Structure formats: C-alpha cells, structure tokens
Amino acid sequence: MVSKKIVAVVMVVGAFAAGAYYGGSQKAPVITNSSAGASYSGGYDKSADSDAKKSSKKSAVKQRTEVGETHVVNDGETIMAAVQAAKPGDTIQVMPGTYHETVYVDKDDIRIIGVIKEGKRATLDGKGVLNDAFLYSGNNFVVENFFITKYKGNGVMGQAGNNFEIRNNIIEDTGVYGIFPQLGKNGIVEYNVISGIEDAAIYVGMSDNIHVAYNDVFANVAGIEIENSRHAIVENNNVYNNTGGILAFITPGLPIKTTYDVIIRNNFIYNNNHKNFGAPGSMVGSIPAGTGILIMASDDVVVEDNIITGNKTTGILITDHANAPGVTIDPESDPNPDGVKILNNLMYNNGYDTIDEVKALMLTEFKQGEPDIVRVGVTNDSCIINRHRYVSVGVNGWAECEFTNTDAIDSYLLDEPVPPRVIDPSERGKVVYNGVCAGCHTYTGRMIGPPVQIIQALYMDNPQGVADFIASPTKKRDDYPEMPPQNYLDEKTRLAVAEYMLAQKK
C-alpha cells in the first residue's frame, strides 16, 4: 500500500541525489557541538498572545484562591453523582474500587483525583461496552491517579476544555485513544502509562500550548501524536514497541489546518516495531511498523537529543501529504513539512529491516544500508546538524541549522492560564434581551408577547418583579400565549435582563 506511492515519486525526483552533501566531494564533515552554539527560539511569541500574561507560576490549571468542597466517592458509589453535586472549585476524591461509568464534566474547575492506597487504585472499567471513561469540556480540569481499562472509545477525552492536567493514570486497552485532549489550549499530559491502544496512546488534536512529558507508552499503534496543533513540547517520554513512536501530523480535512512549532526532545524512542493493528482507513492504519518519529506536513518540528534505536523501518520519517498512503488532500492546508530541524540525536540500529520503498529511495542517492532518517516529498527550509552521523536519504540538500539546541525554551505552557469563560455582567442583560426576549417582544409592536412598553408601564421600578415572573410565568392575558419559563437563565442574568428591558427607550 505504501509502496506504489513512494516508488512513483522516486521516479520523478530521482535527480535530487546529485549534489550530495559530502558523499560525492569527500569533504570533512561539519561537526557541531550542541553544548555550545545558539539556542532555538521557537515559533511562539508569548508577548503577542493576549491569553498569555506574565507570571512565575508553572502549571496548566488556574490556581485556586478559594478551596472548594471535597467530595469523596467510595467503591459502590458513582463518580458521576459527585460530579453532578460538585461546583466549580470542588475536588472529587475517588477511593480504590471498580467503577463502571462514563464521567462527563461540563463544568469549570473540577478536579477528579484517584486515591491510591497501598498500590490499589480507583479503576474505571468500561467492560467493553462503555464508550469513553472521562469526557470533559470545562476549563481547569484535572484527572489523576486512575486505572482505566476496557472502554471502546477513549480513556480521557477533552472537548475544548482549556487549562487541563492529565497525569499519573494507567490506561490499558481503552479503544481508539488513551488520552485525547481536543480543541483545548494550555494543557499538561504527564506521568501516564498507556498501552494496547488501537490508534494513539496520547493524541493531542487541534490544540495549542501543550506539554507532554514523562509518559510511558508501549504496545499501541501510535505512541504520541501531535496533530493540527501548535506550540507543543513532547519530552522525556519512554516510547517503545508501538507501530510508530512519536508523530507530528497535519491531518487534511480538519477545520484547523496547521501544525507548527513542535519540539520532540529527550525521549527514548526504541523498538517501535509492533504490528500495525490500526482500524482500516484510520490515519495511523498505514504507518509502516518500525517508524520511530513520523513528521507529516507539519512545520517547524524540532527533533533533539532523543535516543532513537531499533526502529526497523527508520528512525525518523518525514513526508508530505502526497506521498503518504491513504491520505486525502485539503485545498486549504499546506501539504509540505517545512522547517524541520534535526539537532543532535542518538540514532543506532534503525532501518535494519526497512520497507522496499525506502530501499528504492536510497538507491536514488546511491546509498544502501539501514536508514536513520528518510525524507520523501517536498520540504523547504529544513536543517540538520551532524548529518554525517546518520544513514539518511533526502536530507543532503538541507542547510546546517543556525542553532544547536532548544535550551532557551522551557515550556510552551501559558504563564497565566486561559481566562475563565464568564459573560460580562454589564453585557449579560443586553445579550439575553436581544437574543431571547426580542424573539417575542418588540418595543411598541405586538409580536408573540406584549410590547416592552406595556411591560415597562407595569414594572417600571420593579426589575426583580420581571426577573421573578420570567422564571415561572403565569398566564396573564387571554389574547397572548403563556410565556415559556426562562429558568435556564441564572438569577443574576434574569435580573440583568429585566433591568435592561426596563431601560429600553425604543
């Protein structure tokens, strides 16, 4: 499946073997010492991001100024009952035991902490019938210390929750993804042990400012995947026995079109030779077993100080969309991986049983052997240091990098978390009046409800009266339908809209 594609391209680009870096000219290699030299400054300018304010704090969730209630969940009870009872700021402690439920959190600032007693954890067991274990859309979400297994979908799935921390969880065989924060900004995924996942153990999708560190991921199709995301660091992870180790992708067809500014550093990435058991048609389903790092279409991906060994196809595979099998096109996304930066890495014993397409590609550069780095398709402005150390194909034309390390970048997390989602009280009345009330009431005319002018005459100095009425209206006029209750608006909003309505002049 992979083969035809790559071979076809090889025919076309065969000529690019000429002008090799040192192969032809026998010049002495450029040896670059990464402990000296310039540091990469990344592609993220914190000062230009309005969400990022200066502070010395280092975590993803908002620091609590007031400590809320702690809800304790014991074996035999449900976590969900505690979530329903919890208010923002509360903590839920889950005692060891087995829980069979989907926990969904559509509230802000909820922390769910498993209590580990003498090695015994709170276990979420989907028993092969439940879909996801944790689903959250609230900001400032923390989930820690669980053992999660036998779900069909994901272990932990975020949908647009910002400022999240997912740590210390053991996740085995939870279906498609182990941990999948999607459409979130500012989050940490660390110290998780994840295995047996049919897609990616950790999948960061369409997110910004993410830190993935100290995770142990093995026996999955993909270890860690950064997809259509920006400003992500993947460091200090142990990634082995997956089909592909660490992936930085642009998946075409998604609404957010870019991946850039990704640093993959200080990871162990070894023996990722697991048979691909991905679902047919999935993005990872056609990754060749034995791929250490796979960079597809992403820009400004830095690969530094990783130990990459024993990956039988290649240590690092870099491709554009056109050469990736089974990948669609997206007229709105750039298919080329530009600005790849390969700094020092320990690469050893990779590519020892590589695929025929790679062998054919190597022949275009008159090379044989076991490739550490394979690049196919178009790339612009990519660079590498100490290239003479590696068996490579497709990087001869790359420049020397102008920096040797990423030491200047500690983290891409925001110094100050993404601010809370509150509707400004001064605007609340106006928005609800126009968006809700105005559907039935105009100032003077008759619509579904009586004119605002009449309501003003009745409640002139009594906004509370209006606020109370709309919460549970009674039928007042024979010639108008009864108003539906607006009790879904909270008390403050009801009062704000009442005041706004009574102040209208036209």
Partner 1 sequence: MKVFRFALVFILALFFVHNDILAQGVDAMNVEQERTTFVLSDRCPPSFELTDDGVCRLLTQYQFYNSVQNKGLGGTQTNLPPHRDGFTPAQIDLGRYLFFDPLLSGDGTISCASCHQPDKGFSDDLDRSIGITGEKVARSAPTLWNVAFVDKFFWDVRAKTLEEQAQGPLFDALEMGNTPENLLSTLQNNNYYVAMFSQAFPQAIEQDNNIALSQVYTALTAFQTSLISLNSRYDRYAHGYHQALTKREIAGLNVFRSFVARCAECHQPPLFTNNQIAVIGTPEPEGRALDIGAEKTYNAPKLRGAFKVPTLRNITKSAPYMHSGRYDNLLDTVKFYNDGRGNSVPEGEEMLLHWHISEPNLTDEEMELIVEFMGTLTDESLTPQIPRNVPSGLAVVDEKYQSP
Minimum distance between the CB of residue 433 and partner 1, rounded to whole angstroms?
9
> Residues 375-404 vs partner 1: string with x where CB under 8 A?
------------------------------
Least distance in angstroms from the C-beta of 130 to partner 1: 9
The only residue of 36, 48, 65, 421 in contact with partner 1, by rule CB under 8 A:
421
Shortest distance, position 10 Cβ to partner 1, whole Å: 21
Residue 50 DSSP class: T
Distance CA 146, CA 348 (A): 36
Q: How far is the CB of 153 from partner 1 (least distance, A)?
A: 3
Among the residue ranges 35-43, 142-150, 212-220, 246-254, the one whose residues contact partner 1 (CB under 8 A): 246-254
* Candidate residues 401, 489, 495, 496; the one interacting with partner 1 per rule CB under 8 A: 489
For 13, the enclosing helix (H) or strand (E) is helix 2-13
Q: Which DSSP string do the residues of 353-374 spell out, in sequence order?
A: T--HHHHHHHHTTT--S--SEE
Q: Build a one-symbol-per-residue string for 89-118: x at contacts with partner 1 by CB under 8 A, - elsewhere.
A: -------------x-x-xx-----------
Beta bridge partners of 175: none
Output the six-digit token pair for 427: 């605007």
Q: Which two tokens stand for residue 60?
A: 């993803």
Of 170, 172, 204, nearest in space to 188 by CA = 204
Out of 19, 29, 253, 369, point to the residue binding partner 1 (CB under 8 A): 253
For residue 264, give the DSSP letter: E
DSSP line for 119-162: TB-EEEE-TTT-S-SEEE-SSSEEEESEEEE--SSEEEEEES--
Minimum distance between the CB of residue 182 and partner 1, rounded to whole angstroms?
7
Site for partner 1 in 319-348 (CB under 8 A): 326, 328-329, 331
How far from 141 is each of 12, 90, 183, 193, CA to CA, in Å? 50, 11, 14, 19
What is the closest distance, in whole angstroms, from the C-beta atom of residue 455 to partner 1 in the complex? 9
Among 12, 26, 424, 474, binds partner 1 (CB under 8 A): 424
C-alpha–C-alpha distance, residues 198 and 466, integer Å: 56
**Is residue 37 within the footprint of partner 1 (CB under 8 A)?**
no
Write the single-letter amino acid at 76: G
Binding pattern to partner 1, positions 115-144, x when CB under 8 A? Answer: ----------------xx--x-xx------
Q: Which of 32, 115, 430, 473 binds partner 1 (CB under 8 A)?
A: 430
Q: Is 36 in the site for partner 1 (CB under 8 A)?
A: no
End-to-end CA distance of the chain: 68
Instruction: Indicate which single residue of 226, 283, 467, 483 sits in contact with partner 1 (rule: CB under 8 A).
Output: 283
Touching partner 1, residues 292-321 (CB under 8 A): none
Per CB under 8 A, does 418 bind partner 1? Answer: yes
**Under rule CB under 8 A, residue 505 binds partner 1:** no
**CB 237 to partner 1: min, Å:** 22
In whole angstroms, how close is the CB of 339 to partner 1 at the nearest point? Answer: 19
Burial grade of 80 (CB within 10 A; 0-12, 13-18, 19 or more)? middle
By CB under 8 A, what part of segment 166-225 binds partner 1?
Answer: 175-177, 180, 182-185, 206-208
Question: Rounded to an integer, what distance in angstroms lies between the CA atom of residue 293 and that of residue 82?
Answer: 41
153 interacts with partner 1 by CB under 8 A: yes
Place of tokens 């053991």: 170
Instruction: Please identify, using beta-carbon distances, which residue of 119 and 255 lies nearer to partner 1.
Output: 255
Given the complex with partner 1, which of 26 and 488 has the nearer CB atom?
488
Return the number of other C-beta atoms located less than 10 Å from residue 86's C-beta.
21
Candidates 202, 165, 157; CA nearest to 183 is 157
In angstroms, what is the minimal distance from the CB of 503 to partner 1?
A: 14
What is d(CA 371, CA 424) in angstroms, rounded to the nearest whole number? 57
Reference 243, options 281, 196, 203, 211; nearest CA is 196
Q: Which helix (H) or strand (E) holds 200?
A: strand 200-205
d(CA 162, CA 170) in angstroms, rounded, equals 22
The DSSP symbol for 450 reads -
Shortest distance in whole angstroms from residue 415 CB to partner 1: 17
Segment contacting partner 1 (CB under 8 A): 22-30, 147-155, 298-306, 338-346?
147-155
List 442, 465, 499, 504, residue binding partner 1 (CB under 8 A): 442
CB atoms within 10 A of CB 475: 9
Near partner 1 in 45-64, by CB under 8 A: 51
Single residue of 26, 65, 426, 444 touching partner 1 by CB under 8 A: 444
Least Å from the CB of residue 409 to partner 1: 21
Q: Which of residues 451-480 bind partner 1 (CB under 8 A)?
A: 451, 453-454, 457-458, 460, 479
Residues whose CB falls within 8 Å of the CB of residue 234, separated by 6 or more in sequence, listed in order = 212, 213, 224, 226, 246, 262, 263, 264, 265, 267
Site size for partner 1 (CB under 8 A):
79
